[in-house]
Amino acid sequence: MGRIRLEFNRLQRYSQHQSSLIMCDIDHFKRINDTYGHAAGDLVIKSVAEIIRKSLRSTDIAGRYGGEEFAILLLDTTEDQAGYLAERIRRKISETEVVYNNQPIKFTMSFGLAERTPGIQDYVQWMEAADKALYTSKAQGRNLVTRYTTEL
């Protein structure tokens, strides 16, 4: 969260730069832990982290936000570009299978993204915007990418 705050403040000074924030969450993660155990859940989280890491540019910033949620900060990236990346990661994760104790585990993720706009006054609002989009993805059936709009 500290890195998002720092980058947001930097972006406020250089308003010509477009940047986007993605919040994503492993769908039904509690069910994975309850069905296969916490060690299996840890393997799923590590698999997601690796997919995200391999999908990013060297200038992008990603991290685990808490539990099964991740935040991805894409500097100099429009909402359209962020949507393309989120969709690519979503598809890759939905095609991934983690094997734990000879049991295959399939899982999906939901994504919400928000481009920094002049209407977003601080990093907390930016995170809340991406989070609203994420929860819209979850409410609409999960395994989706949703872009933030003021109508959400």
What is the set of domains in the chain, with CATH numbers? 2-12+19-147 (3.30.70.270)
Q: Which residues have CB under 8 Å from 144's CB, separation 6+?
A: 90, 110, 111, 137
How far apart CA 104 and CA 41 sit, in angstroms, is 12
Residue 2 has a pLDDT of 73
Q: Looking at the whole model, is its pTM more than 0.85?
A: yes
Q: Do 8 and 123 contact (CB within 8 A), yes or no?
A: yes
Q: Is 115 a catalytic residue?
A: no
Catalytic residue among 7, 50, 68, 115: 68
85-109 residue pLDDT tens: 999 999 999 999 999 999 999 999 9
Which residue, among 82, 97, 83, 42, has the nearest Cα to 64 in the 3D structure? Answer: 42
How far apart CA 78 and CA 116 sit, in angstroms, is 9
* Sequential pLDDT tens for the chain (152 residues): 577 777 777 776 666 678 999 999 999 999 999 999 999 999 999 999 999 999 999 989 999 988 999 999 998 899 999 999 999 999 999 999 999 999 999 999 999 999 998 888 888 999 999 999 999 999 999 999 999 998 98
